[in-house]
A = this chain, B = another copy of it.
Amino acid sequence: MNNMVSVAILGHGVVGSGVAEILLTHKQKLFASLGEEIYIKKVLDLREFPDSPIAERFTKDFEEIINDLEIRVVVEVMGGLHPSYEFVKRCLKAGKSVVTSNKELVAAYGAELLEIARQENVNFLFEASVGGGIPIIRPMNQCLVANIVNEVAGILNGTTNFILTKMIEDGMQFEDALRLAQDLGFAERNPAADIEGHDACRKICILASLAFGKHVYPEMVHTEGITRITLEDVKYAEKFGCVIKLIGRVKKLPSGKIDIVTAPMLVPFKSQLANIDNEFNGIMVRGDCTGDVVFYGKGAGKLPTASAVVADIVDCCMHLKQRRFLYWADGKGDNIISVSESEFAMYVRAKGKNVAAKAEALFGSIQSISTPGSHRTAFTTEKMPYGQFIEKINKLAADDVEILSTIRIGDL
């Protein structure tokens, strides 16, 4: 039919069912924008959904989708790497455009899939893979056209941000805040990917690849989670005028190399990222012409994420014959400096006698707060390469000081 584009959706989980819902409930709005109907021809899922208004269009067989020449756009919302990767690759090679919300997939295979899309002259779009409902990939790609981006930094994981907010605002312990997040559905039963920083790392990898043109793989990025952040750190951070946030950050250095890290950081109150609380995400893009631009919103959830997927579907439908410019080359990590070269000012919490004096002798100028009587001290250092910091902190530990925690200070 002329006024219709057929699409297939791979996966009918949280995001997939949201995509189907928006395509059905916002049908007229979408038709008005596009001038064509987006018709869900097939939905792939191994489960049965007899109550779905499109129950008869479900299939368990991917071959039905790949072999259907009418299906021009395929939406991958299954998550995980396999068989998502194989399915997406086959769809692109079959000349179908693909939209995905799968950050794991894009972080692991983005360069390869973008290259296939380029060769086949189809689109591979993934707005929903970073920041959920926040438009970021497209605006950044747009910003990038007339800007040299020097830095991207963000709160990219809603689960950990919710936990840290509860620790900061309500004085909850980490474990209690995690349990609350799980009870409220913000954290999964197995929260490892979130609290150990892997999810945030995948997202900063995608943004770094986009900003600097070479694929950055998660294995190339030093990644720390928030499991070792204590309430005591949160309280000391406040005294230093900061909140603790899990930050993914990539920065272009004068050498042309990039410095990329995912780790909890002390963020000064005055930073735009300091006020992004609870399950919200915020992403700062620092361009040479625009200055700082910040995007804020819900980074996850069924409808926010699904609405970003649908916007990509519409873009694919509008550009069936013309590719959107979205591309980066493969990368070997040779444009990334090592974690020991990466420069940060540091926060340290330690226990022992005369910690401040000992730290000053090692680190030079520091700011310190001691809690009288308890032999506990927190201090912050000037900026230095992380390797140099670790050397000095080892010397401090050898001088009868117990190092309780060390956290980077974000220059955000």
Contacts and interface: CB of A to CB of B under 8 A. Distances in A.
B135 A139 contact: yes
Contact of A292 (B145, B287, B297, B308): B297
A230 interface: no
Interface in A133-162: 133-135, 138-139, 142-148
Interface stretch (A22-30, A187-195, A244-252, A371-379): A22-30
Given A142-B138, A145-B33, A272-B296, A307 B325 contact: no
A289 interface: yes
A14 interface: no
A303 B306 CA distance: 34
B297 A29 contact: no
A110 interface: no
A30 B138 contact: no
Interface residues of A, number: 45
Given A139-B139, A142-B135, A325-B318, A295 B298 contact: no
Contacts of A301: 291
Contacts of A304: 289-291
Contacts of A292: 296-298
B146 A311 contact: yes
Nearest to A313: B146
Contact of A303 (B289, B307, B310, B315): B289
A293 B307 CA distance: 12
A154 B61 CA distance: 48
B311 A142 contact: yes
A384 interface: no
Interface string A254-269: 0000000000000000
Nearest to A277: B270
A33 B315 CA distance: 18
Contacts of A142: 135, 138, 311, 315
A26 B292 CA distance: 19
A26 B148 contact: yes
A291 B297 contact: yes
B293 A146 contact: no
A156 to B, nearest CB: 15
Nearest to A141: B33
B290 A303 contact: yes
Contacts of A227: none
Interface in A14-40: 22, 26, 29-30, 33-34
Nearest to A23: B146
A116 interface: no
Given A293-B295, A318-B322, 9 more contacts: A26-B147, A33-B144, A34-B145, A142-B315, A146-B314, A289-B304, A289-B306, A290-B304, A292-B296
A-B CB proximity, top 9 nearest: A146-B310, A289-B307, A133-B290, A293-B297, A135-B139, A294-B296, A146-B307, A289-B303, A291-B298
